Chain A
Amino acid sequence: MSAVIEGHHDDHHHHGPAKGISRWLFTTNHKDIGSLYLWFSFIMLFIGGAMAMVIRAELFEPGSQIVSPEFYNQMVTNHGLIMVFGVIMPAFVGFANWLVPMQIGAPDMALPRLNNLSFWILPAAFGVLIATFFMEGGAPNFGWTFYAPLSTEYAPPTVTYFIFAVHIMGASSIMGSINVITTILNMRAPGMTLMKMPLFVWTWLITAYLLIAVMPVLAGAVTMMLMDIHFGTSFFKAGGGGDPVLFQHVFWFFGHPEVYIMILPAFGIVSHIIETFSRKPIFGYESMVYAIASIALLSFVVWAHHMFTVGMPIAGELFFMYSTMLIAIPTGVKVFNWLSTMFKGSLTFETPMLFAIAFVALFTIGGLSGIMLAIAPADFQYHDTYFVVAHFHYVLVPGALFSIIAGVYYWLPKWTGYMYDEFMGKTHFWLSFVSVNLTFFPMHFVGLAGMPRRIPDYAMQFADYNMIVSVGAFLFGLSQLLFLYVVLKAIFYGKKATGQVWEGAKGLEWTLDSPPAYHTFETPPNLESGEAKA
């Protein structure tokens, strides 16, 4: 391990990246790998988004419109899988690669070659997953939660490819997390104690621990599926004495912490943006750290709130109901800290700040509908309706995705050295903001009225709202093409950015040039002089 890092220093000390495609294939540079992750996630966003467009086109009017119910199920399943494992997670890993070393004053990630591997197996995993569309029996069609026996006894034969793909994604996340934790624990600049770390680094440290705790459990779950399908075991097969409900427990033991894996780094990004554009240090730094840690710990004891209707004893329902509601407390602490940071700040509203404020407002709506769902007796009404779809899209799209977009606008000038077009950025924001609400807010209403999720057709009384939702979804999809345009325009035609970029930005990454040199902080910055706390 030491040879890797020292060799890396010696070989590349004074020159930039290699030329051509081999730069990207063999790179061990955290900035290159960060860019690879971000571009990968951007491409997957359009693939998963295209699937969402198919879903919304089918639901534009009641009745069977353009795709068969079988294909609709494949769309729903792969839209979920791609957005969760191919967009949100890799995008945050991309941010971690770019920012963690620069924010803690380290020269690179602790394990650069492992870093290369954990990125490059990811396109392989999604290649395998997407290839199933062209195989006999079609792609996985059992929902992103792949409940047994839908995903075992009744699954298309391609389920084996799906299992393989999930194994590779898991391996990639686990290697990435080991890398992040090792970097943060061992390579901080002298003087940067844990409680002086930037919040983004804190959120990723905790996220990485969550990933290491639950991704292996997911790997175990798909391994059990594999054995049930091919080796005659009966983990989930009722006919052999197994229990399909066991699958749901194992899956959600992974699945609920996974939800926080997808939102904690967002909290970090938004905290940085809000303090920059409020020109005030974040309010309640310590409480932010404790809030993140308590959310992470609580996430391990709430999983069965996804399965209130499965047939639990009343004691179980109550336990999972109250433990879930408890999470609202640390989350509320974070929301109030963001508001207090903005309170009496010298606010300006550049594009990153607009997205960050929208994040705070809309993520809170998603959080509140989450509390409604946590009420066990009420959940029997909401379960498997569009209300649930509205809830998790509010926390994932104007939640996680908006924070990613905000982060891209915020750090893009630092990464590329070029400023994006502020007018186009704001246009992108307002289009996204209006269309995201147009898409997901009416889903609450149709859900409460009883429209079930994952069904390609619906009763006539839901027609108007569904048409509004579909129009919103098409608009949101188109707005993201504008995002691609803004990013490309900045890279090719953007104005030169300064090192500081934003007037109020604080932190080690802003002490570097824009774009930063290929290798930065080869001698750690001195923090004892006290110039840099996040």
Chain B
Amino acid sequence: MSSIRKSVSKLFLATVGMFLFGFALVPLYDVFCEITGLNGKVTGPTFSEYENVGNREIKIIFTTTNNDDMPWFFDSSKSQMRVKTGEQNLLNYVFTNTTNKPMIAQAIPSVSPGKGAQYFHKTECFCFEQQFLEPGESITIPLKFVIDPDLPKDISSLALGYTLFDITKDLVQKQASN
């Protein structure tokens, strides 16, 4: 009957392995999205200057959205810009806590079309940073970006959208569980 024991242990190991594989899908998915530029996931600010400034003109559209019932005022200084590839550009985003209690928020960026995401380089930004604001407080944060001259020819405009999430509760919960 040791053959039964052998089968059972192999199958049990397979079960544990597949459970871990389920979790391995998380980093695999991120890597896959990063390589393919799917989902408009943007990489962090990586570089500063291009040697040869391209001369293509690209239209950039900026959108800001509040998630759910996030009450803050959140907007960009410009709703669209025409920029030259390879040139440094600047605009401002304004965050205002319109409530009467201190809150923490986080803005998540997304670029569309998705395959343009990897050519949108932010050299200074607030992506994935947590903003803490007292009641009524307001803050202006600059965003600097460069459009890669290698941007595929068929893309003539890009949209950068930010969604603002209220993460006050999540942070409190995280601290409680730590």
Q: Considering the chains assembled together, what is the distance between the CA atoms of A250 and B27 in angstroms?
A: 12
Contact of B36 with A313 in the complex, beta carbons under 8 Å: yes
B45 within 8 A of A: no
The total number of A-B Cβ pairs within 8 Å is 117
Chain A residue numbers with a CB within 8 Å of B5 are 1-2
Cβ contacts A243-266/B at 8 Å (1 or 0 each):
101100110010000000000000
A240 interface residue (CB < 8 Å to B): yes
State whether B7 touches A185 (Cβ < 8 A): yes
Name which of B18-26, B50-58, B80-88, B134-142 contacts chain A. Answer: B18-26
- Cβ contact within 8 Å between B7 and A181: yes
Are A216 and B19 in touch, CB under 8 angstroms? yes
Contact with A along B156-178 (1 / 0, CB 8 A): 00000001011100110110010
Cα–Cα, bound, A178→B13 (Å): 11
CB <8 Å contact, B15 and A174: yes
Cβ-neighbour of A212 out of B1, B11, B20, B108 (below 8 A): B11
How many residues on B have C-beta within 8 angstroms of the other chain's C-beta atoms? 41
Say which residue of B3, B11, B21 sits within 8 Å of A178 (CB atoms): B11
CB distance from B177 to the nearest CB of A (A): 5
Contacts of B171 in A (CB 8 A): 232
Contact at B173–A182, with CB atoms within 8 Å?
no
Chain B residue at minimal CB-CB distance from A5: B1
CB-contacts of A179-233 with B (<8 A): 181-182, 185-186, 212-221, 224, 230-232
Closest Cβ of chain A to B159, distance in Å, is 14
Q: Does A16 contact B (CB under 8 A)?
A: no
Contact partner, A221, options B2, B22, B163, Cβ 8 Å: B22
User: Which B residue's beta carbon lies closest to that of A245?
Assistant: B39
Which of A2, A216, A238, A239 has the most chain B CB atoms closer than 10 A to its own CB?
Answer: A239
A111 at the interface (CB under 8 A from B): yes
Once A232-B170, A238-B165 are accepted as A-B contacts, the answer to whether A178 and B4 lie under 8 Å apart by CB is no
Contact of A235 among B18, B19, B26, B170 (CB under 8 A): B26
A1 with B15: CB separation less than 8 A: no
In whole angstroms, how far apart are the Cα atoms of A185 and B3 in the complex? 9
Which residue of chain B is the closest to A6 with respect to CB atoms? B1
A241 touches B108 (CB 8 A): yes
Query: Chain B: residues with CB nearer than 8 A to chain A?
Result: 1-5, 7-8, 11-12, 14-23, 25-26, 29, 33, 36, 38-39, 67, 106, 108, 114-115, 128, 163, 165-167, 170-171, 173-174, 177
